[in-house]
Structure 1
């Protein structure tokens, strides 16, 4: 059913996705395109961009969830914002189909240029029970749910009389030893310690955190020595780190296997299973007529124009996790493309915006080439690891690495307003600690109102009961005496 939504009738730069790339492309182009008589249109199912490096801290209770997202309407006032999903792109006719939320139908959006910036989604495998039991940490909603889940399970365990249910509630498993997995398990372990400290009915030695990683090491972005230090750091906090181990099943008890022989490794029950084992390009690219490489990403040139076997596709651009951007430094993925991370996405977006504008006026364009500045990770207050490439490789551990992590990401989150809010969150948490107050019932917010609004059922009328034997005997004797008196 076509939508009645009226679009601005101007030459359009259509940006598919409002994440890192989409936000920065629009920020850098909206004024220029408007002055030239056009409009930048950003389409995304969500009304905000999520700064994903902050999700572990959101889950750990150090950052307010709304401060880790950037409102598209508030910060892209010169752009046209459509909340919906692009379900088809017909570049030959310069048209895209947008499905609007809430059953409002579809919208056909004409354009002059298109920028694919739909990012990536969590990559999963067909493991039995994973879809039903697992949760990721790639969206702000998942981060909030994880925080509430950890605190709620500890509270549940504090009153559980069944030892098996208590152990299951206090067991937390993270699958994936990349940056997302390591930061997530570290922040949640800190959160759990604080929650246990506030609850006298649970002891810390009852809480079990398990990290499962299929490779023989964690965090490939840092040196092997630093990765080993992180493993020892986690184990020193009581986290079980299982390398060369994979999740075989999540149906009933979790079943782990050792690699590469796939022999049984362990089997136990856990109420919380967190999956952070990689990402994949947003599958929306399959509904376009653009060329894809074997991993499902859009094929692009170093200048970020989409190109296939037959050459450049005019007026079509892509960047970020959805694109196979060549890494001209030679230090990217084995296939020669850039690592899918926020550092590349933010910088690719700025190059793409400049090139799109230059191409419109037949001016020279630049290739994307960015030397990786390194990697920083935080494991809770004053704990972290960093690998910084400035005048050489500088490896940091502990408090200095944690400060580098906060300094870099505090500067990298878009807009001054968001930076200010996040810094205030950090400043507050240094003095008041983590907020361990759970927000329950978010999945059914109307439950309390519905219970109050619905009239209570009337109690059933008590059935007439036969007189007790003693009472019947007494009544009979009374009648007999009365008859004799007569």
Structure 2
């Protein structure tokens, strides 16, 4: 068949980087020029920066899950599963499908955009008792969980249990942790008014981070401004502090404090997907070492980008500087990698990636926000307008934009319904249940799978 003769382009991951690459390939390649395949467990692109607003109920989950199949021109084949190993010599990617079947997918060109997983440390009890905030299911579950704590506290006759259920701990003073704490605190602040038996002063939110500053990228003034907003709301911020151990009903801080709580949310950074380790190639802080064209040196046709790749940051003067793992870089790298794949396919020259950061936006819920577009510091309503305007414009489809804008307007006018769906109430939803870090193969297992084709358990 003629399809066999066409070059096979395999894209791993449907985040900002992977989807940006696939969309550009579809626009620029003719149907008979190459076959494009995308490996992803879900047929949607998650707009990750708005996840805290799903957790707090401002946005519905569907509004930030942008369908990959909606486009009428979409012709990319989707393999529903996760890549668990890559054999660079044989040019084969090992995929575990959503039905747990292991298949070998051959390629001529591969674009590795598997993203990142939550960075955890060897902290006793952490992965067993902490919630993560990297998936749509986790955000929806956390919302249910937080509301359930109010319900259970309201129903409890034990003052100690009531107090423990109304204490919440968020670890991570970056954008994800700060926005999560801010948005969920606003949720509980508004919800407790519907619980006349509960004392609002019992609700306590703790935001902690081992770093000396909250969101240091914002600079001292804006960072302190964000802290002031959160502290005025009653969020207790502890810097230079982390978790010593976690249990089902209490958390011990490294400064010795023991906080009775049923809610520990861990957002303390990310590391590259374990898929990168299966390649046996050079890495920089766990991210695949690539050149400025995002090509793996010594391996034509192998590209990597986004959170999983150490892409040189040509916009900075420092030697050895790499692009931070942000959505802004991932989106733009996706388009550039697609151009370089096409150039390689057609025998043309590849071009390096370079992009200057456009700024930072932090949505603290309600009318509170801080932002720094093009280096200009903003606070309050102007910052909120910039933050939401940026996120709205970055959404890929008009349907997603309409849904998000409608949700924002409805929430502003009518507030929240404080509904607990209960979809996952009988299933565990802690860090260990969502990261799947043990699903990946070792380089030796990858070679054995490719050579024998037998299922690897």
Is 1:403 the counterpart of 2:385 in the alignment? yes
Does structure 1 conserve the Cα–Cα contact (< 8 Å) formed by 2:372 and 2:378? yes
Does structure 1 conserve the Cα–Cα contact (< 8 Å) formed by 2:116 and 2:271? yes
- With normalisation by structure 2, the TM-score equals 0.89
CA deviation string 1:182-229 (max 9, x = no partner):
000000001001110111111221101001111111102201111111
Deviation at 1:74, TM superposition (A): 2.7
Q: Distance in 2 between matches of 1:171 and 1:136?
A: 17
Deviation at 1:364, TM superposition (A): 2.9
Instruction: Select the residue among 80, 83, 86 that pairs with 1:86.
Output: 83
Q: Which residue of 1 aligns with 2:106?
A: 110
CA deviation string 1:406-443 (max 9, x = no partner):
00010112222211211111121121112311112534
Q: Distance in 2 between matches of 1:145 and 1:419?
A: 24
Deviation at 1:35, TM superposition (A): 3.0
Does structure 2 conserve the Cα–Cα contact (< 8 Å) formed by 1:59 and 1:147? yes
Name the SS for the 1:84 alignment partner. Answer: strand
CA 1:245–1:331 in structure 2 vs 1: closer, same or farther (change >3 Å)? farther
Q: Which residue of 2 aligns with 1:382?
A: 367
Does structure 2 conserve the Cα–Cα contact (< 8 Å) formed by 1:47 and 1:71? yes
Name the SS for the 2:324 alignment partner. Answer: coil
Does structure 1 conserve the Cα–Cα contact (< 8 Å) formed by 2:82 and 2:96? yes
CA 1:61–1:224 in structure 2 vs 1: closer, same or farther (change >3 Å)? same
Q: Distance in 2 between matches of 1:374 and 1:278?
A: 20
Q: Which residue of 1 aligns with 2:277?
A: 286
Does structure 2 conserve the Cα–Cα contact (< 8 Å) formed by 1:62 and 1:435? no
Q: Distance in 2 between matches of 1:227 and 1:32?
A: 42
Q: Which residue of 1 aligns with 2:410?
A: 428
Does structure 1 conserve the Cα–Cα contact (< 8 Å) formed by 2:289 and 2:311? yes
Q: Distance in 1 between matches of 2:320 and 2:87?
A: 29
Q: Distance in 2 between matches of 1:439 and 1:96?
A: 38
Is 1:319 the counterpart of 2:315 in the alignment? no
Is 1:163 the counterpart of 2:159 in the alignment? yes
Does structure 1 conserve the Cα–Cα contact (< 8 Å) formed by 2:284 and 2:310? no
Pick 1 or 2: higher relative contact order, CA cutoff 8 A, min separation 6.
2
Instruction: Select the residue among 15, 20, 27 that pairs with 2:16.
Output: 20
Does structure 2 conserve the Cα–Cα contact (< 8 Å) formed by 1:40 and 1:79? yes
Deviation at 1:91, TM superposition (A): 2.3
Does structure 2 conserve the Cα–Cα contact (< 8 Å) formed by 1:114 and 1:315? yes
Deviation at 1:45, TM superposition (A): 2.0
Q: Distance in 2 between matches of 1:98 and 1:79?
A: 17
- With normalisation by structure 1, the TM-score equals 0.84
Q: Distance in 2 between matches of 1:353 and 1:435?
A: 43
Q: Distance in 1 between matches of 2:350 and 2:33?
A: 22
Does structure 2 conserve the Cα–Cα contact (< 8 Å) formed by 1:175 and 1:275? yes
Is 1:366 the counterpart of 2:351 in the alignment? yes
Question: Structure 2: which 5+ runs fail to align?
Answer: 428-457
Deviation at 1:56, TM superposition (A): 0.6
Deviation at 1:331, TM superposition (A): 6.9
1:431-450 to 2 correspondences below 5 Å: 431-444=413-426
Deviation at 1:279, TM superposition (A): 0.1
Q: Which residue of 1 aligns with 2:29?
A: 33
Q: Which residue of 2 aligns with 1:484?
A: none
Q: Distance in 2 between matches of 1:36 and 1:92?
A: 26
Is 1:343 the counterpart of 2:328 in the alignment? yes
Does structure 2 conserve the Cα–Cα contact (< 8 Å) formed by 1:300 and 1:323? yes
Does structure 1 conserve the Cα–Cα contact (< 8 Å) formed by 2:8 and 2:109? yes
Instruction: Select the residue among 302, 319, 322 that pairs with 2:292.
Output: 302
Q: Distance in 2 between matches of 1:111 and 1:89?
A: 10
Q: Distance in 1 between matches of 2:336 and 2:163?
A: 51
**Structure 1 moving runs of 4+ over 4 Å:** none
Does structure 2 conserve the Cα–Cα contact (< 8 Å) formed by 1:87 and 1:99? yes
Is 1:269 the counterpart of 2:265 in the alignment? no
1:141-160 to 2 correspondences below 5 Å: 141-160=137-156
Q: Distance in 2 between matches of 1:129 and 1:377?
A: 30
Q: CA RMSD in A?
A: 1.9
Does structure 2 conserve the Cα–Cα contact (< 8 Å) formed by 1:113 and 1:316? yes
Question: Structure 1: which 5+ runs fail to align?
Answer: 1-7, 259-263, 446-486
Q: Distance in 1 between matches of 2:287 and 2:172?
A: 22
Does structure 1 conserve the Cα–Cα contact (< 8 Å) formed by 2:118 and 2:271? yes
CA 1:253–1:335 in structure 2 vs 1: closer, same or farther (change >3 Å)? farther
1:7-86 to 2 correspondences below 5 Å: 9=4, 10-75=6-71, 77-86=74-83
Does structure 2 conserve the Cα–Cα contact (< 8 Å) formed by 1:21 and 1:346? yes
User: Greater CA radius of gyration, 1 or 2?
Assistant: 1
How many correspondences in the alignment? 424
Q: Distance in 2 between matches of 1:101 and 1:374?
A: 38
